[in-house]
Structure 1
Amino acid sequence: MDGVNTAETSSPSAEIYAKFFQGLANATRLRIVEALLTADMNVSQLVERLGVSQSQISNQLACLKWCGYVSSTQQGKFVVYRITDERVRQMIALAKQIVAENAQNIHSCTRM
């Protein structure tokens, strides 16, 4: 069967879910997603809003785009980024609720 593991292709593994969450495990990527939840933005707007270099923003956007968190469209001379799936908004809202309830434990955790 040309080397394809059918168990892997029939349903996602725990590793792919972990990798999905790693997409938001970087603070800059998370801040970009949170900013894009408020409005569609181009790289310059994200640089200004987040105070992060253009190259860092572009690099993190490439990751977010590749993994399906954001999409982009050309608007004149700018590329504008937006959240691809509104469920990301729900996921971030749920995460904020869980963190609020467990912030002290999360902050002091030495196992992560």
Structure 2
Amino acid sequence: MAMNESNACLAGSTSGGTSSNLDAAVALFHSLSDGARLAIVRRLADGEARVVDLIGELGLAQSTVSAHVACLRDCGLVIGRPEGRQMFYSLTRPELLDLLAAAETLLAATGNTVALCPNYGTRPRTGTTIDTEEGRR
């Protein structure tokens, strides 16, 4: 996605392709919404790595790393560079580093608000009932 297309989809451009631009933005954020994929992207922000490097550094299973690297590659966010029998992965676009930095700035500014979100948060709000199978009995 070119820089002007990226800006248009995130800014909600009123041009004819708004729906497809919005779909592309949704796909981008969805591709980064998995914890393992985000950890891989953050690691690759420091430089290229092989699957075996990612396994050791992130403590994830080989099948998990391989599947998520393939997803990121299919999304066009990661590229592989063969060297002999090994494949070295890196980020395809430096703008992804800007996106990660902006996300970190936003998270710092909002504190725990996102983590407490009832739909997408990582933990329940204090004093709320968790809707579980056990809680419904």
TM bracket, shorter-chain basis: 0.7 to 0.9
Give, as a single letter, the amino acid of the residue that structure 2 aligns with 1:74.
Answer: P
Distance change >3 Å, CA 8–CA 26, structure 1 → 2? farther
Note the alpha carbon deviations across 1:83-102, whole angstroms, 9 max, x for none. Answer: 00000011100101001111
1:53 Cα shift? 0.4
Root-mean-square deviation over aligned CA pairs: 1.8
| Letter paired with 2:33 | A
Higher helix fraction: Structure 1 or Structure 2?
1
SS class of match (2:45): helix
> What is the TM-score of this pair, normalised by structure 1?
0.87
Give the total of aligned pairs: 106
* Structure 1 gap ranges (5+): 1-6
* Aligned-residue offset at 1:14: 2.0
Structure 2: which amino acid aligns with 1:24? L
- Shift of the alpha carbon at 1:36? 0.4
Equivalent residue for 1:65, pick from 57, 73, 76? 73
Cα distance, 1:8–1:48 mapped onto 2, change above 3 Å: farther
Could you tell me how far 1:8 is from its partner in structure 2? 8.1
Highest CA radius of gyration, 1 or 2? 2
Higher relative contact order (CA 8 A, sep 6+): 1
Point out where structure 2 has 5 or more consecutive residues left out of the alignment: 1-14, 121-137
1:13 is displaced (CA, Å) by: 3.7
